[in-house]
Every structure is written in structure tokens, then in C-alpha cells.
């Protein structure tokens, strides 16, 4: 009887293990490609029309809503980029934490913006610096039509080596990260 009870408890535990959390709100970022965690289906030309327009397809993906991203831990960066009217305070999870939550297994991460612009973020940069996937600027959510839904922000004011770089990797209006 104990053996049967143990087997039933084990089966109940296996069945009770939830699948990857599904977004409850609007999806802000999808991490696709070489990921081990999934919470949505593969590329669908109708549902993923923007990715299709950017010639991106994938078999595996993990979609994040705002709550899921904030659950990864919100960090704060203060940045005054040359030419900006003032210093801004950005909030969001670290990009490396977003990729880890999706189970990224590839060697490259290419971030796509709503307008099709894309830039590869070097894995070395994500290891060496707290590169952020900003969701807020000065306490306000990044808006679509502005810089949202997300913006890759480098801590240039805190690291002299980053201060000399241009902003080509600061992908704003980011919606998709393709891991290969």
C-alpha cells in the first residue's frame, strides 16, 4: 500500500508541475530561436506578422508580459547620453536575466525593433556589464510610438569603456530577441 501511495504521490507531483508561465497581459518581448523554455507555439505567419515582415521565423519561443519581466528583478540605470536634453532613469530587468529565463542556449542575441532595425548584443557585453532591457523611463512605462515597449540600455555612465561607443546597440522599440 505504501508503494502504491508513493507512486500516486509521484504521479500527482509530475502532473502538477506547471508548464512555463503564459503571459497574462500584452506580450512586450518574445525571445525566440535557441531557447530551451517555451510558453507559446512556433512562428505563425499570421500571428507573428511583424516577425514575418522582418524575415524572422522560429520553432521555439518564450513570450514575456510586463509582470513576467518585472518578476525577473528590476534594476535602475541613470544615463545622460550625449545630445539628450537631460539624464534619464531607466528601469527593467537585465538582458542576461531575460535570456536566462527563456533558457537561451545560443551564442548570439539579435534584438529587433518594431521598425525592423536589429542589432546583435555581444554575449561578452552581457557578461561584463549590466545591460538592461528597460521597460520604464523616469518611472513611466515606455510607450509604443516612443521608445517602447522595451529599450536595450547600456550603463555607459558607469563604465568608461562604454562611454566611447555609439548607440547602435541601444535598440529601442524592441519586441523580439532572436537567439542563435
Cell of 100: 536566462
How many other CB atoms are found less than 10 A from the CB of residue 143? 11
Cell of 42: 512556433
pLDDT in tens, 26-76: 999 999 999 999 999 999 999 999 999 999 999 999 999 999 999 999 999
Q: How confident is the model at residue 153 (pLDDT cuts 50, 70, 90)?
A: very high
Nearest Cα neighbor of 139 from 175, 102, 89 is 89
Structural domain boundaries in the chain: 22-179
- 92 φ/ψ angles, rounded to the nearest 5 degrees: 165, 175
Number of continuous H segments (helices) and E segments (strands) in the chain = 6, 11
Average pLDDT over residues 4-28: 54
pLDDT in tens, 49-62: 999 999 999 999 99
- Distance separating alpha carbons of residues 24 and 61, to the nearest angstrom: 16
Contact 123, 108 (CB under 8 A): yes
Is 7 a residue whose pLDDT tops 80? no
pLDDT in tens, 76-120: 999 998 889 999 999 999 999 999 999 999 899 999 999 999 999
CATH number 3.90.420.10 given to 22-179: yes
Q: Is the model more confident about 140 or about 11?
A: 140
Amino acid at each position: 500500500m505504501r508503494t502504491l501511495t508513493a507512486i500516486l504521490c509521484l504521479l500527482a507531483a509530475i502532473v502538477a508541475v506547471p508548464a512555463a508561465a503564459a503571459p497574462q497581459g500584452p506580450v512586450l518581448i518574445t525571445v525566440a530561436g535557441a531557447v530551451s523554455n517555451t510558453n507559446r507555439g512556433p512562428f505563425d505567419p499570421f500571428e507573428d506578422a511583424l516577425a514575418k515582415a522582418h524575415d524572422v521565423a522560429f520553432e521555439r519561443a518564450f513570450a514575456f508580459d510586463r509582470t513576467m519581466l518585472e518578476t525577473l528583478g528590476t534594476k535602475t540605470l541613470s544615463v545622460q547620453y550625449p545630445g539628450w536634453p537631460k539624464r534619464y532613469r531607466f528601469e527593467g530587468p537585465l538582458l542576461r536575466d531575460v535570456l536566462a529565463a527563456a533558457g537561451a542556449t545560443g551564442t548570439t542575441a539579435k534584438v529587433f525593433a518594431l521598425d525592423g532595425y536589429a542589432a546583435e548584443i555581444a554575449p561578452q557585453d552581457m557578461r561584463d556589464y549590466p545591460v538592461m532591457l528597460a521597460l520604464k523611463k523616469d518611472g513611466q512605462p515606455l510607450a509604443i510610438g516612443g521608445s517602447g515597449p522595451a529599450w536595450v540600455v547600456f550603463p555607459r555612465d558607469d563604465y568608461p569603456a562604454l562611454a566611447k561607443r555609439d548607440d547602435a546597440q541601444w535598440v529601442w522599440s524592441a519586441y523580439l530577441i532572436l537567439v542563435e
